[in-house]
């Protein structure tokens, strides 16, 4: 399937081509075609019940759904998800303008997980940057992160390693190179080599895609850390901590709550990672003896 389709047509491509007018002070306007990042509603449906609607880039949606289920604590392990099926939504029944479209990702999960999901279920209608939109009261606000198990490599995530990984990231963002609007989440080894890079219009979505991909491999059990082209919000820290990841480096700064969650979890958090400088906001756990 092509990675580029015209924006006026229903599409599940990550990029769309649109007509634009480029204006310059020193020349006449020019009409040309431009590439934009696709952003579509994606409903995550668990055992037939829609649990969340996210605005996402329609690519790697199976990994996205698995990563979301794991990082939100809806399932305990990848093995709790028995099947994932991506479908086009029935737009005839939706209040969408002509030419718009939506997708559904159907997950079949273990009965025990589904019972727990129904117990704690909340409406997450289009999560935004705050990461807690959709909860019905402050009573439902859960910001506590469990303490991570010590990892001997945590303190080895140093400045040189972090900058090596961050500097390598732009070359591994092919979609963003074309449209300039996508976040990326990457898995880096202890020498700063990037092993996996996932892109999405949403930073949470990019991370969930990465986590879903890692959960299907053995990389989560190996030394490494996450690199992201975003700020470090509390939810990104919590998602990493929930899957046992002890290191996170972001290009932009963290929020105060992001730092507090990192310190609480024992996660090593780097921010403002732009060569030749980076800031260590949370040192993480000490090395195991």
Tell me if 249 sits within 8 A of 226, measured CB to CB. Answer: yes
My answer on whether omega of the bond before 276 falls inside 30° of 0, hence cis, is yes
Q: Could you list the active site residues?
A: 130
CA-nearest of 192, 205, 196 to 249 is: 192
Alpha helix positions (H), the chain? 61-71, 111-120, 159-168, 174-179, 203-215, 234-242, 256-265
Phi-psi category of 82—alpha, beta or left, where left has phi over 0 and alpha has psi -120 to 50? alpha
Q: Alpha carbon of 113 to those of 118, 135, 143, 145: distances in Å? A: 9, 20, 21, 20
Rounded to a whole number of angstroms, the distance between the first and last alpha carbons of the chain is 51
Strand partners of residue 20: 32
């Amino acid at each position: 399937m092509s990675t580029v389709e015209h924006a006026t047509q229903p599409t599940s491509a990550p990029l769309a081509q649109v007509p634009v007018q480029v204006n310059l002070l020193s020349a006449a306007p020019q009409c040309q075609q431009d590439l934009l990042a696709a952003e579509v509603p994606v409903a995550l449906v668990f055992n037939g019940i829609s649990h969340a609607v996210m605005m996402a880039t329609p690519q790697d949606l199976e990994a996205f759904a698995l990563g979301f289920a794991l990082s939100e604590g809806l399932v305990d392990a990848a093995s709790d998800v028995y099947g994932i099926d991506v479908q086009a939504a029935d737009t005839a029944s939706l209040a969408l303008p002509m030419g718009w479209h939506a997708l559904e990702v159907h997950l079949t999960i273990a009965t025990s997980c589904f019972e727990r999901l129904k117990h704690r279920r909340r409406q997450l209608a289009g999560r935004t940057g705050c990461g807690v939109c959709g909860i019905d009261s402050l009573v439902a606000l859960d910001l506590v992160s469990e303490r991570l198990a010590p990892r001997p490599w945590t303190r080895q995530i140093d400045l040189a390693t972090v900058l090596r990984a961050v500097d390598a990231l732009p070359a591994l963002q092919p979609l963003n190179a074309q449209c300039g609007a996508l976040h990326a989440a990457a898995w880096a080894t202890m020498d700063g080599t990037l092993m996996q890079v996932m892109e999405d219009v949403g930073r949470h979505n990019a991370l969930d895609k990465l986590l879903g991909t890692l959960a299907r491999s053995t990389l989560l059990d190996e030394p490494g850390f996450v690199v992201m082209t975003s700020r470090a919000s509390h939810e990104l820290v919590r998602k990493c901590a929930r899957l046992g990841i002890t290191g996170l480096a972001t290009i932009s700064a963290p929020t105060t709550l992001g730092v507090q969650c990192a310190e609480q979890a024992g996660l090593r958090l780097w921010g403002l990672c732009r060569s030749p400088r980076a800031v260590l906001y949370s040192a993480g756990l000490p090395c195991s003896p």
